Structure 1
Amino acid sequence: MSRTSNRADGDIVRDFLSVAALLEEPQLAQLYAYLARESEATVQDAMDDLELAQGTAYSYVNRLVDAGVVDVTDDGQPRRYAARPIDLTVTTAAGDREYTITPALIDAVGRRETNADIDTYIDRHGVAGLATALTYAVARERGEVTHRLMAEDLDISPLAAEMILQALHPVVHEHYDIEEGGASLDEVNVGDGDDDTSDA
């Protein structure tokens, strides 16, 4: 189910369906994430920066507008577009875990087209698993966890944990404020013995 505040059921369903479309199509997710990062952009901007064909760019922008996740901010020529904030909490089918769909998660899904590690992780663990990994990636960048702790918590190999954490590194830094005092990837990942206290 989704969690929103004081919204009609129809709006909640529309939000959910719009977000589901973004999570199913990485290029659509990539365009939404681009518009969220840029605050405002034209279709030409998206074509240039994302290397999209003209027909594809216009089709995707229109789909995002129709879905209600992108607004036209300037009707003049060229039109300018901006992403609407998304913050939707869903529960997994098993009912054992909730995760929040945010622009950062949509950005991560959009990168599966160009990042084999993200693509493989989604294939194995689904979008819910990627959402969980993103939470660990933020904590890792803040110096709160290591890849070994993530691996132990999620019952995956330390190598798989390290690979997805590195793949999510740019997403974390584009969407979250990481304090200067927090550990960076380089500080946390200093070979096999990072700062984990266990001997492996």
Structure 2
Amino acid sequence: MVVTNAPTADENGSKEGTARSFIAASEILVNPDIARVYTDILLNQPTTNSSIERRLDLAGSTTSMRVGKLKNLDIVEDVSSGKESQLRTDSLFLPVGEGETRILLDPLTIAAYGASGEVSEIELFVDRHGKAKLLMAVEQTRAYLSGEVTRRGAADRLNVDEIEAISITQALEPIIALFVKAGLIDDSFEHDVHDRKIRNTPYVFEQE
């Protein structure tokens, strides 16, 4: 799997790439269904509409509409002219802020948000605390898995009660582990995530 960063101002000598990334991220992060299709393409590229339909259990018209939206955002493209187009995408990275307040909107954040329509614990967390807190929850779940913090420590950093922290970190763990398995991130875990939990995420990674 070849994964490249979305263009940035430094790469193309202008602000156009950064603006395009900002617009794409803004659009994706208001629609978990679009975020989920983007994540599926990223995990399994190159892929086809029919494969997306099968993996995500979507109707053909629904898949075409969501893929079309991603194409309009210039983050999914056709890379072949065969009977059925092969689809590819870029990893979307958008840094916001500077110094200690700097955050990074990235494919893992998008995947977590995309799962909110399928995983009740994530949906409830977003409803209660918003998408910004979900991004922080992804960071703290990675910190927990790496052994940097306990679940109680994650709760303190998120400023939520411990039960909520346990619920959201457990919901996010298999998505993070799937990204490691797919080679999209290279985190090392102190706490293992069972393969059964990974298989139960709203995503399927088929390219072993």
TM-score, normalisation: structure 2: 0.80
In structure 2, do the counterparts of structure 1 residues 171 and 4 end up closer, same or farther at CA, with 3 Å as the change threshold?
Answer: farther
Moved over 3 A (4+): 176-180
> Is 2:35 the counterpart of 1:26?
no
Number of the residue aligned with 1:192: none
> Is 2:180 the counterpart of 1:171?
no
Deviations for 1:63-82, whole angstroms, at most 9, x for unmatched residues?
A: 11110111212121110101
> Is 2:81 the counterpart of 1:61?
no
Deviations for 1:115-163, whole angstroms, at most 9, x for unmatched residues?
A: 1111121222222211111111111112221110011222210001100
Number of the residue aligned with 1:73: 79
Number of the residue aligned with 1:13: 19
Number of the residue aligned with 2:125: 121
The Cα of 1:4 is off from its aligned counterpart by 4.8
Aligned residue among 156, 162, 168 for 2:160: 156
State whether residues 36 and 83 of structure 1, in contact with CA within 8 Å, keep that contact through their aligned partners in structure 2.
Answer: yes
Whole-angstrom distance in 2 between the partners of 1:136 and 1:155: 11
Aligned to 2:29, what secondary structure does the other structure show?
helix
Amino acid at match of 2:188: E
State whether residues 143 and 184 of structure 1, in contact with CA within 8 Å, keep that contact through their aligned partners in structure 2.
Answer: no
Aligned residue among 142, 147, 158 for 1:143: 147
In structure 2, do the counterparts of structure 1 residues 178 and 13 end up closer, same or farther at CA, with 3 Å as the change threshold?
Answer: closer
Whole-angstrom distance in 2 between the partners of 1:6 and 1:125: 35
Aligned residue among 43, 49, 54 for 2:49: 43
State whether residues 146 and 187 of structure 2, in contact with CA within 8 Å, keep that contact through their aligned partners in structure 1.
Answer: yes
Per mean C-alpha deviation after superposition, the further-off stretch among 27-36 and 145-154 is 145-154
State whether residues 133 and 158 of structure 2, in contact with CA within 8 Å, keep that contact through their aligned partners in structure 1.
Answer: no
| Unaligned stretches of 5+ residues in structure 1 | 187-200
Aligned to 2:84, what secondary structure does the other structure show?
coil
The Cα of 1:113 is off from its aligned counterpart by 0.5
Residue identity over aligned pairs, in percent, reads: 25
In structure 2, do the counterparts of structure 1 residues 26 and 133 end up closer, same or farther at CA, with 3 Å as the change threshold?
Answer: same
The Cα of 1:169 is off from its aligned counterpart by 0.9
- Which runs of structure 2 are paired with 1:92-111 in the superposition (5 Å)? 97-111=101-115
Amino acid at match of 1:137: T
Amino acid at match of 2:125: Y
Amino acid at match of 1:158: E
CA RMSD of aligned residues (A): 2.2
The Cα of 1:103 is off from its aligned counterpart by 0.9
The Cα of 1:83 is off from its aligned counterpart by 1.6
Aligned to 1:74, what secondary structure does the other structure show?
coil
